Amino acid sequence: MDARISTWSGLLAAWSEFARAAGALPKDGNLGLLRRSVPAIIGLQALTHALEHLDCLPPDEYCAGQDRAALTIRTLRSELESIWRDDAMPAVLLELIGDAESVLLQSRSAGYEFVPERDPYLMPVRSMELSEWRARRAFVGLLLAAPAAKRVRAGLPVLFVMATSGKPLAREDLLDLGSLIPGCLWGRVKAMRQVYETADPRGLRQVASAPGRTDLGTELLVGLAPESLSTARHKPFEVLLPRGAGNGASNAHGSL
């Protein structure tokens, strides 16, 4: 199916055409197995598309949608495995299963970045204010930020926040958090980008990439553990890093 088809009506038209074409396939041999696989193929395509729009669900239905999607993927995988049990499943079918699983995994790591417009940006907020925001909003999830008074390049995140299972946050929560770090734009992202800093002959260089890339330098975004406000005031930060993000790095031009 054409990967460029992105609208639901476009997918329905493509599925209908695919189903009509499949009806002409022989009932025996590998082509017969492919014919029997059509309902699962359509189901996986529909599920993958639906997961890409999971943010359209109310936040209290987000996790339930993920659970239903995981169950559907397991069911369709088992259906295909039973059809192809005596033969090697075609790579294209394995790819369809992998695509659905990948989009589901991305939905669990989605969050929000706060990125400064000014260059360089001096991080204005301390851990105590972030702890107070967490308590005020009863937030349970991942919260990482650059240390107070740290200079960060424009275009690189100074803060990343992710609710449980990646579900969307209320706009009021994001606006309240944004008021603590004026001069930043915030937006929904599929995965966290860590910021790394290293020294070169011209000064300090900063780059954004997936968490865990310590070969790129010192990690700047530090995690505030989900503990009580009073405890957070007296204990050092705990580093919390999501895994599974891409490995691509993005540079911030210039040096600090």
| Averaged pLDDT of the chain | 81
| Per-residue pLDDT band at 242 (split at 50, 70, 90) | very low
| Per-residue pLDDT band at 149 (split at 50, 70, 90) | very high
Q: What is the pLDDT at residue 85?
A: 84
With CA atoms as reference, report the closest residue to 138 among 166, 112, 172, 106. Answer: 172
Q: Which residues pair with 218 in a beta bridge?
A: 197
77 φ, ψ (degrees, to nearest 5): -60, -45
Q: What is the pLDDT of residues 99-118, one digit of tens each?
A: 999 999 999 999 999 999 98
For CA atoms 11, 12, 16, 19, the dihedral sign is positive
- Tell me if the bond preceding 59 is cis, omega within 30° of 0: no
CB 76 within 8 A of CB 97: yes
Tell me whether residue 125 is exposed, middle or buried, using C-beta atoms within 10 angstroms of its C-beta: 0 to 12, 13 to 18, 19 or more: buried
Strands 250-251 and 151-152, sheet pairing: unpaired
pTM confidence score: 0.74
- Nearest-5° angle of CA 131, CA 134, CA 136? 105
Whole-angstrom distance, CA of residue 134 vs CA of residue 149? 20
Section 225-249 average pLDDT: 42
Residues 6+ apart with CB under 8 A from 193: 113, 156, 157, 160, 208, 209, 210, 245, 250
Residue 50 one-letter amino acid: A
What burial letters (b/e) apply to 200-235, b meaning 16+ CB within 10 Å?
A: eeeeebbbbbbbebeebbebbbbbbbeeeeeebeee
Residue 133 one-letter amino acid: W
Q: What is the pLDDT of residues 119-140, one digit of tens each?
A: 899 999 999 999 999 999 999 8
